[in-house]
Structure 1
């Protein structure tokens, strides 16, 4: 999701790479789940997020949409996002103890928080949001350890490809007719989300093939 903000107002003023240290440690959140509540439809999911959820929960994309996800318009593009409970405005994937029931395969935005990404020159760096987390940051950790993502090099490359692919769509969204934009959105959803992935084959190879076929 594209945000038009001044980094000086929301961060510590530094940009980080994956091997840099940042003050991120919060003692396993100590029972706090404030960042899992009141998020509305802002936790947008990329294809790898949904792939991990499908694999971890043994559910299809359609099943996830019926229970834990919904569709939202983000910068002119229709994408899935985490659904909040109507009664408590908390994530539907929190358990009764207020802990994440999918922590091992949680979405990228959840892994990232309270970090954000800034994209420039076909790649990205990280920044630390200083007003978002309710807990006091206690210890410094390497960014790559905080992200807790296997095959991080492949993942980082994938994030750039996905971001700039979507940016290409959103940059042109204003020039498209309503019907053309609807067609583009349906093609994105079908190609990257609805069509099932082979859970026994490398995700990134499958994504690259789908990206080549849609460009």
Structure 2
């Protein structure tokens, strides 16, 4: 996302939530004295920003059901091969091919990788609205499965990527073995970020998300091997 898009999201967020001005400046790139603090929890290495000038970590907690911005301002919903089967059955499709034809879109887009390289992703995405087109990809759309109370009508069979927010994740080769890494997505849409002196307040979240993130990466790799998506680096 561009800084302009993040600023627009933050301005919208601040209509309903208090946003720490230090965090706002960080998300807008105005604070650059930041260290990447790494913590390994089970099979995942989490990268947590540490603001050197403030001597604070950036941590996170979810405010659902008071907030459901992650569902109300979706950019895209990539599906794993497991999702294609599970969600297709939930929507009463007997054939996965029919579900893909009627309920999904294929999109190719670029994302910056952890080392600055560009990653080109091709994914099958769940339509967030019934008449979604390729032109809508990457834009903020309220998910059609979000109910009036902020809950997901597909839960617990919602897309695996939905369980990741606000994290993004990737794989790195470490001595011939794949290691899963994760860090936050700072889109400006989530009110759950806060500053803390230590990582202790977030121990439970790291523990829970470690399994979620690891399982999702394994499912994504399997999806690419099965030909439902692809990843290339440049």
Sort the TM-score into its range (normalised by shorter chain). 0.5 to 0.7
Residues of 2 paired with 1:153 and 1:89: CA distance?
Answer: 27
User: CA separation in 2, counterparts of 1:12 and 1:92?
Assistant: 39
- Name the SS of the counterpart of 1:146 in structure 2: helix
Alignment of 1:189-208 (within 5 A): none
Equivalent-residue separation in structure 1 for 2:101 and 2:223 (angstroms): 25
Partner of 1:118: 170
The structure-2 alpha-carbon separation of the partners of 1:12 and 1:136, relative to structure 1 and needing over 3 Å to count, comes to: farther
- Equivalent of residue 62 in structure 2, options 8, 26, 35: 26
1:166 has 2:216 as partner: no
How far is 1:72 from its partner? 1.9
Q: How far did residue 136 of structure 1 move?
A: 2.3
Unaligned runs of 5+ in 1: 1-8, 173-215
The secondary structure found in structure 1 opposite 2:74 is coil
CA-CA distance at 1:36 after TM superposition: 1.8
**Partner SS state of residue 230, structure 2:** helix
* 8 Å Cα contact 1:16-1:126 kept in structure 2: no
Spell out the pairing of 1:60-71 with structure 2 (5 A cutoff).
Answer: 60-65=95-100, 68-71=103-106
d(CA) in 2 for partners of 1:162 and 1:16? 28
Higher helix proportion, which one? 1
CA distance, structure 2, for counterparts of residue 46 and residue 72 of structure 1? 14
Where structure 2 has 5 or more consecutive residues not aligned to the other structure, the ranges are: 1-28, 49-58, 111-119, 133-139, 195-200
Cα distance between partner residues in 2 of 1:12 and 1:93: 38
CA distance in 2, matches of 1:148, 1:93: 25
- 1:146 aligned onto 2:209: yes
In structure 2, distance between residues paired with 1:118 and 1:107: 18
Q: TM-score if structure 2 supplies the norm length?
A: 0.50
Q: CA RMSD in A?
A: 4.1
Q: Deviations over 1:73-114 (max 9, x none)?
A: 345665311223369931122223332111202212211110
Q: Does 1:83 align with 2:127?
A: yes
State the secondary structure of the residue aligned to 2:183. strand
1:204-215 map, 5 Å: none
